[in-house]
Chains A and B, each alone.
Chain A
Amino acid sequence: MHTLELTVNGQGHKVEVGLKTTLLEVLRDKLHITSPKVGCNTGDCGTCSVLLDGVLVRSCITNALSVQGKSVTTLEGIIEPGDIHPLQKAFHENYGSQCGFCTPGMILASKALLDANPSPTRDEVKEALSGNLCRCTGYVKIIDSVLAAADEMKS
């Protein structure tokens, strides 16, 4: 076992992990942060996505010890004091979620996009979300939601 020190959503943690432990296992099983979902566990679907020092990564194929000393943001970490994040609000208002299983990854991928590009075009949103699979929505209202959130966050 090895000691992993990391910051999750602004809070420091120290956990014991094995050489093959993934970041997703640390988040869900050790820290009980459950917004990152176990989807495919092969890096294909994107519902385990988290932000690692602001960069979108798939936590299911990220080795836990590789994030030593780094800062992780999950969906829980983007909720603003007293209110949900504009992206969450936009997904809610635009019906950007049906079963909801892809939603945590979708919102974090959208946040990574909007952090880098606050005024994306529809095609840029499509590209940014292309690594996150959704089986329910056909993506149309997810893309609508991201564009609505971008408008909201600018104003």
Chain B
Amino acid sequence: MYPSGMSGGGDSSQAMVKVQPDGSAVVTVGSCDIGQGCKTIMAQITAEVLGIDYEAVKVVNDDTDNCPLSFGTFASRVTYVDGLATKLAAEDARRILFEVAAVMLECSEDELEAIDNQIRVKGNPDKALPIGEVAGAGTFGMRKLILGLGHYMRDPAAMDPETGECDPFCTLAWAASYAEVEVDTETGEVEILRLVNSYDVGKAMNPTHLEGQIDGGATMGVGAAMSENLHPFYPSLDFQPDNLGDYAIPTTMDVPDMESVIYECPSTNGPYGAKGIGEMTANTPGPAIVNAIHDAVGIWITNLPATPEKVLRALDAKGA
């Protein structure tokens, strides 16, 4: 079980959605993309709210001097916190589009919806205007700047001084990993035969990205469980690895057959029910692997990584 965003509240992200005169949109957020899909998700959310094509949305998040405030890309928070800020900003921009379209279509703003690259009257597809026409008329005819602003921040969570009770989390996601291992009792080597990782993502906004995130996190978990060791003689810092030859992150040969299972249990307040799972994906494989080793040969590895040496020592201790 794992929270999205910084626990305790106060975790803040802002977004701006500017609708261009041709009906395309530019989203500006402060969270950078380190490869796990911030740009994609913000574009998807904006496209959904404005009823425009994904390809018509450009996301700018490359320059902290110019972008709105964000606490950053960490804590499984971008889809959730930036996603909510972007959704608010896109809704704000859509409100301005509706103001313009209400004049053009001679109706009230509440009657309108944005869908299929059009602003149209709900239940009356004939009374519709291309979004580019509305944005153009709003920009040049009515001299508007069609700029939506959004800021999401959960209130800091107060703690009851008597009981310690507190509601610190935006949302909680659930996860489980299943591992099958083979232990060589002669050499102490552990081979992971199969690893299944299941995550409650709330709403799978981009299933392919989620699978990639789960695969990647699981591999970090496999590394932590099997080979990665920053302080081999902790608390002594001797023999601390200082290159990627000594600090053994998993290679293609170390990754078992993996299966990523996406489960959707919507959050009450995330964008479209989404939850963040970025960080937690690295956490569940280790315990599953350790439990599988116990199930196979009856030893408990209590200090990762589960090196052959530790496995053999535990087997010796058990035999003694």
Q: How large is the interface on B (under 10, 10 to 19, 20 to 34, 35 or more residues)?
A: 20 to 34
Report the bound CA distance from A133 to B253 in whole Å: 11
Partner of B258, one of A100, A130, A136, A138: A138
Q: Convert A79-108 into 0s and 1s, putting 1 for each residue whose CB lies closer than 8 angstroms to a CB of B.
A: 000000000000000010111100000000
**Interface residues, chain A, CB within 8 Å of chain B?**
39-40, 42-45, 95, 97-100, 125-127, 129-133, 135-143
Whether B244 lies near A40 (C-beta < 8 A) is: yes
Report yes or no: B212 in contact with A141, Cβ–Cβ below 8 A: yes
When distances are taken between beta carbons in the complex, the residues of chain A under 8 Å from B218 are 138
Interface residue B216 (Cβ < 8 Å from any Cβ of A):
yes
Chain B residues whose CB sits within 8 angstroms of the CB of A44 once the complex forms = 243-245
Q: Bound complex: CA of A129 vs CA of B258, how far in Å?
A: 17
> Please, which residue of chain B has its CB at the minimum distance from the CB of A106?
B252
Q: Which of B35, B209, B220, B252 has the most CB of A within 10 A?
A: B252
If A98-B216, A138-B215, A139-B255 touch, whether A133 touches B243 (CB-CB below 8 Å) is no
B249 within 8 A of A: yes
Chain B residue nearest in CB terms to A43: B245
Q: Which residues of B contact A (CB under 8 A)?
A: 34-36, 208-209, 211-212, 214-220, 243-245, 249, 251-253, 255, 258, 260
Contact A100 B243 (CB under 8 A): no
Return the contact of B36 from the options A43, A131, A136, A143 (Cβ within 8 A). Answer: A136
Of all chain B residues, which has the CB nearest A126?
B252
Shortest Cβ distance from residue B193 to the other chain A in the assembled complex, whole angstroms: 14
A39 to chain B, nearest CB (A): 8
Asked if A137 and B220 sit within 8 Å, CB to CB, the answer is no
CA A126 to CA B244, docked complex, whole Å: 19
